[in-house]
A and B are shown apart, each in its own frame.
Chain A
Amino acid sequence: EVQLVESGGGLVQPGRSLKLSCLASGFTFSNYGMNWIRQAPGKGLEWVASISSSSSYIYYADTVKGRFTISRDNAKNTLYLQMTSLRSEDTALYYCASQRMDAWGQGASVTVSS
């Protein structure tokens, strides 16, 4: 069974940093690209970033480009999202999802507030 489990969320002050992790199991993680998608409270879905299986290709939404970094460790079956210079508008539930978006984690809650 495919499982994606996010961790690392929390309450952080504006301008500070936070790193999310997503532990994958039940499939050959190193063969597939991965995605981060976020959902602000009561709002729709917003794609954040994607990374290819070998990290050769990386894409970001304009809203996070230059502030967020997606990465992966295939030996640890783990996807990461390093978030810096956080803003109140980054407050959201952050989901990791598989390449085809056919598997999603339960989400990690990030709240940016002073």
Chain B
Amino acid sequence: DIQMTQSPSLLSASVGDRVTLSCKASQNIYKYLNWYQQKLGEAPKLLIYYTNSLQTGIPSRFSGSGSGTDYTLTISSLQPEDVATYFCQQYNSWPLTFGSGTKLEIK
């Protein structure tokens, strides 16, 4: 199974900051990576698919990058409504696996 490791587990930043979240796969996943945002009490929402494709309706301040085993989600200017937990997920091979999440807070 492919293990997905997210860091940091908790991130505190100020409104307007550029924020970078990391996701590392235990083997090459050939960019088959999704990013999700989950706000408290809500279902996850797909933000980014195939590493860097922005899902319809998602603000352009969200972007993704990476290749091989290392992937990044960037928020260019943090907004109060971005407080949430962010998960990465690989779909290169079965079983589908998720990272353990990064909880993003406002400082």
A residues contacting B by CB (< 8 A) are 35, 44-47, 50, 59, 61-62, 95, 100-102, 104-107
Q: Are the C-beta atoms of B43 and A44 separated by less than 8 Å?
A: no
Q: Are the C-beta atoms of A95 and B43 separated by less than 8 Å?
A: yes
Nearest CB of A to B54, in Å? 12
> Given B45, B55, B94, B95, which contacts A104 in the complex, CB threshold below 8 Å?
B45
Interface 9-residue window, one of B63-71, B72-80, B98-106? B98-106
Q: Are the C-beta atoms of A44 and B89 separated by less than 8 Å?
A: no
> Given B44, B45, B46, B94, which contacts A45 in the complex, CB threshold below 8 Å?
B44
CA distance A62 to B96 in the complex (A): 11
Nearest chain-B residue to A101 (Cβ)? B46
Whether A46 touches B98, Cβ cut-off 8 Å, given contacts A101-B34, A101-B89, A102-B55, is: yes
